[in-house]
A = this chain, B = another copy of it.
Amino acid sequence: MHLTKEDIHNLERIKRLNIINSVSGIKPANLIGTKSKDGQTNLAIFSSVVHLGSNPALLGFVMRPTDDVPRHTYENIKETGLYTINHVPVSIADKAHFTSAKIDREVSEFDRCGLNEEYLEDFSAPFVKECFLKMGMKLVDEMPIQINGTILVIGEIQHLLIPDNAVNEKGYIDLSLYNTAGISGLNNYYSLKTESSFPYARAEEIPDFGA
């Protein structure tokens, strides 16, 4: 199958959404937790968290336009400057998925979807108790993406919470150990199986691939 730019534009809307949301490859399943100034918590699944740098430790995620529908996550981050990013294990993929429903601001997705809040002292945003890897984030920048009105929200890791045995002496984190989920498209969840680990790639150590 070969779809041109025009073919993609002419696809039925839902089919286009499903296809184009799958073509970047596997996406991480993360829950973003926030709390408004007046104390209302919010939880939402995002598949667009992306590594931006290690020192300082920066992660970005993509917010869809805020002018058409309410974006509670974004509003809370703007109010408090804080949020959490929590890895979704496959075992709670169903609960995590349903946080994407449009729920009134007065109702917390934690309650509605059966997930539990957890807190650090002096950090107001809620972590997800059921997640094994969780990060407390501080907003450092946001970049409007002019061409389609999305926003790249950039945060720095303030707190990284992770079970000791999930990190080895090199700093590798085994995502399969706690059954971290991946997503393709908008609705499809995958488990991960470790296949291989390669050394840092040096030109003089490239194997003979029979080129």
Interface residues of A (CB under 8 A from B): 1-5, 8-9, 11, 13-30, 47-60, 62, 87, 90, 93-95, 97-103, 110-114, 133, 135, 140-141, 143, 145-148, 150, 152, 154, 156-164, 167, 170-176, 180-182, 184-203, 205-207, 209-211
A159 and B51 in contact, given A154-B145, A211-B114 (Cβ under 8 angstroms): no
Q: Quick one: which of A93, A173, A180, A193 has the most chain B CB within 10 A?
A: A173
Contact B176 A190 (CB under 8 A): yes
Copies held by the complex: 2
Contact A170 B26 (CB under 8 A): no
In the bound complex, how far is the Cα of B50 from the Cα of A21, in angstroms?
9
Contact B1 A163 (CB under 8 A): yes
In the bound complex, how far is the Cα of B188 from the Cα of A12, in angstroms?
37
Contact A52 B62 (CB under 8 A): yes
Dominant secondary structure at the A interface: mixed
Contact A51 B26 (CB under 8 A): no
Q: State the Cβ distance, A82 to closest chain B Cβ, in Å.
A: 13
Partner of A173, one of B141, B159, B184: B184
Q: Quick one: which of A26, A56, A181, A188 has the most chain B CB within 10 A?
A: A26
A133 and B197 in contact, given A48-B50, A147-B154 (Cβ under 8 angstroms): no
